[in-house]
Structure 1
Amino acid sequence: MPCLCRDCFREVPEARGTCAACGSRRLVRHPELFTLTVAHVDCDAFYASIEKRDRPELLALPVIVGGGRRGVVSAACYIARTRGVRSAMPMFKALALCPDAVVIKPDMAKYAAAARQIRGLMERLTPLVQPLSIDEAVLDLRGTAALHRAPPAAVLARFARAVEMQVGVTVSIGLAANRLMGKLAAERDKPRGFAVIGGAEAADWLAPQPVTLLPGVGPALARKLESAGFTRLGQLATLNPLEAARRFGEDGPGLAARARGEDKRPVNPERETKSISAETTFDRDLAAVAELEAPLWRMCEKLARRLREKELAAAGVVLKLKTAGFALRTRNARLPSPTRLPETLFAAARPLLLREADGTAFRLIGIGAQPLAPAAGADRGDLADPEAPKRAARWQAVEALRARFGEAAVMQGRGLKPRA
């Protein structure tokens, strides 16, 4: 059976338990090891790992990256995870589980810089790199063996070592025949893992797994599947497309196919951005419209900036509110024409807010742009709104002043935080 040493990158004879060249026990074996080309790369506890890299005194301590007590966990190191802390968990729950954790406020600029380093190392391996998030990507290395003079598995092992040496964090790699199985493989062996799921074994490996293992099967869909008698992926896998559609609608055939380990999605470096958003969690619950409008305006400014950076515009807005009891409300509205101006975004989102501000206490507010549109068609003005180009010019001037003199150089009154 093909076997690779993850430390010296040499092929190891099947019978050995250690590498003859370097003595390492970090060996990976699989019948399809040297023929699979699709890899899912996931950084291990990325934000927390960056913080530990920069502050070595934290290496043996539980670290949580996130907001204040009313915020949520952005990332938790593996020590904190052993206590039950998870990403997106409310901070107060995380601190109840791990009261001795070191809590660090996120430094997105630092994390983005590290992500760019890792992305650069990926792009040396293959042009087929599709980012999925700041710390996650999928790669297709087909046709690269001659270039690298090594099969994809060995190239990926070298890449993992390069990330550790040059960036100072670790990654876990899932090697498989398609994107779905690559993601599931990467989750099998974290942290610092290298797991392989071949095409020949995918269906059998999935069959005994719970339906919740599949990406996209959340609590609501899991309950629907369970009520229909489907709790294991092997049960879903037996459904033909017609039966799957009859039971679960238009998404049924795709669901059954994924339960068999089938996934025809290509690795697409030009993946289209579907939405852009900005949100904030309050220091205390807010209920009054006047209190909610100020943070909504600040999020509209932030969203406008992100649209400009992505060279996109909003053709619609989505308002997001989370109640004090963590119930989520989303409301959306289409825009008459695309925009990336905060005042236009605010004007569209404010009526949505007024309908929801019924005395309910909220802990979070957010604004998103969806659907997106090309920036070229934004804020051009027409007979109904001839002043749009002037507003666009004013906003551009404001952003230029802020870039030069700081965020507080120009501020609108509606965005000011009330004094304590």
Structure 2
Amino acid sequence: MKPFLGPLSIRKIPMIGLKTFQRLRSMGVVDIHTLSMIPPEMMEKLMGKNGLGIWKKANGIDLTPVKPYSEQKSISTETTFEQDTIDVVRMREILSSMIEKIAFQMRKQEKLTGCVTIKIRYSNFDTHTLQRTIPYTSFDHVLTEIALELFGRLYQRRMLIRLIGVRFSHLVRGVQQLDLFEDTPEMVNLYQALDNIRQRYGANAVRRAVSLMPGGGG
């Protein structure tokens, strides 16, 4: 037990409520030092496992396992429509907007994704997903093209849709490298300029950046 704990009232121990405090006080136990001197077997006999836990706290024993730090493994977002819809154009636009926002979050965290998953939920609550592993990237125009293709393959029933979602997983730490066959320094500079605007004025300050890219719509 740490010396500075000894003189403190047993009420300082989180596990001790009013009833437990009154019971221990009736036994002449009012400070942590006195409590720590009680044999653990007696505490367990008097109060069960809770008593043993209180004794451990009084003696500065904490066997709570240390949880190792783990990096975020995925990033996702969803949109639930106020009214179920079959408006494919609108859904594709919303999907593109969602991708822009979370791709921006990835770039801010210097993360790249290696897997794209699209989710749709029909009005009858049937939920379907489709995913694809990809070369690691954080570029909107690459992710949007893949996501919209997955959405087109997934949404075949032409039933009313209640929810759409996108998830980027298999995240790794890294900064987007140029693809010598597709990317240009101008494109990278454009992303940096757009991200600077978002950093300064908020994620919604620049919308539909994908439309500015080669092959983009809008």
- Per the normalisation by structure 2, the TM-score is 0.67
What is aligned with 2:115?
Answer: 316
Q: Secondary structure at the match of 2:52?
A: coil
Q: State the shift of 1:404 in Å.
A: 3.0
Of residues 382, 388, 400, the one that matches 2:196 is 400
| Residue deviations 1:251-274 (CA, integer Å, cap 9, x gap) | xxxxxxxxxxxxxxx511x21221
**Would you say the 8 A contact 1:379–1:392 is kept in 2?**
no
Considering Cα pairs closer than 8 Å and 6+ residues apart, tell me whether 1 or 2 has the greater RCO.
2
**Would you say the 8 A contact 1:278–1:368 is kept in 2?**
yes
User: Structure 2 CA distance, aligned partners of 1:18 and 1:396?
Assistant: 68
User: Structure 2 CA distance, aligned partners of 1:18 and 1:363?
Assistant: 63
Tell me the amino acid that sits aligned with residue 107 of structure 2: R
**Would you say the 8 A contact 1:4–1:29 is kept in 2?**
no
1:315–1:14 Cα change, 3 Å: same
Of residues 125, 147, 150, the one that matches 1:326 is 125
User: Structure 2 CA distance, aligned partners of 1:406 and 1:29?
Assistant: 49
Tell me the amino acid that sits aligned with residue 147 of structure 2: A
Q: State the shift of 1:8 in Å.
A: 8.9
User: Structure 1 CA distance, aligned partners of 2:177 and 2:163?
Assistant: 29
Provide the aligned length of Structure 1 versus Structure 2: 182
What is aligned with 1:14?
Answer: 24
Q: State the shift of 1:369 in Å.
A: 1.0
Tell me the amino acid that sits aligned with residue 35 of structure 1: K
Of residues 152, 171, 183, the one that matches 1:386 is 183
1:5–1:308 Cα change, 3 Å: same
What is aligned with 2:67?
Answer: 267
What is aligned with 1:66?
Answer: none
Q: Secondary structure at the match of 2:163?
A: strand
Q: State the shift of 1:298 in Å.
A: 1.1
User: Structure 2 CA distance, aligned partners of 1:372 and 1:316?
Assistant: 8
Q: State the shift of 1:355 in Å.
A: 1.2
Q: Are 1:357 and 2:183 counterparts?
A: no
| Residue deviations 1:308-341 (CA, integer Å, cap 9, x gap) | 2332111111112122122221110111x21112
User: Structure 2 CA distance, aligned partners of 1:17 and 1:152?
Assistant: 23
Q: Equivalences for 1:126-141 in 2 at 5 Å?
A: none
**Would you say the 8 A contact 2:84–2:161 is kept in 1?**
yes
Q: Secondary structure at the match of 2:24?
A: coil
How much identity, in percent, do the aligned residues show?
Answer: 23
Q: Equivalences for 1:92-107 in 2 at 5 Å?
A: none
User: Structure 2 CA distance, aligned partners of 1:331 and 1:392?
Assistant: 29
**Would you say the 8 A contact 2:77–2:102 is kept in 1?**
yes
Q: State the shift of 1:409 in Å.
A: 4.1
Q: Equivalences for 1:167-316 in 2 at 5 Å?
A: 177=63, 266-268=66-68, 270-316=69-115
Q: State the shift of 1:35 in Å.
A: 3.0
What is aligned with 1:151?
Answer: 60
Q: Equivalences for 1:59-70 in 2 at 5 Å?
A: none
Q: Secondary structure at the match of 2:115?
A: strand
User: Structure 2 CA distance, aligned partners of 1:308 and 1:272?
Assistant: 15
Of residues 54, 61, 69, the one that matches 1:33 is 54
| Residue deviations 1:3-53 (CA, integer Å, cap 9, x gap) | 9425799995736399858xxxxx9942133437xxxxxxxxxxxxxxxxx
Q: Are 1:347 and 2:145 counterparts?
A: yes
Q: State the shift of 1:295 in Å.
A: 0.8
User: Structure 2 CA distance, aligned partners of 1:277 and 1:294?
Assistant: 17
Q: State the shift of 1:405 in Å.
A: 4.0
Q: Are 1:5 and 2:11 counterparts?
A: yes
Q: State the shift of 1:412 in Å.
A: 2.5
1:413–1:401 Cα change, 3 Å: closer
What is aligned with 2:35?
Answer: none
**Would you say the 8 A contact 2:101–2:203 is kept in 1?**
no
What is aligned with 2:166?
Answer: 367
User: Structure 2 CA distance, aligned partners of 1:290 and 1:343?
Assistant: 17
Structure 2 unaligned regions, length at least 5: 1-8, 32-46, 212-218
Q: State the shift of 1:288 in Å.
A: 3.1
| Residue deviations 1:290-317 (CA, integer Å, cap 9, x gap) | 1210110111011112212332111111
1:320–1:379 Cα change, 3 Å: farther
CA-based RMSD of the aligned residues comes to 3.6
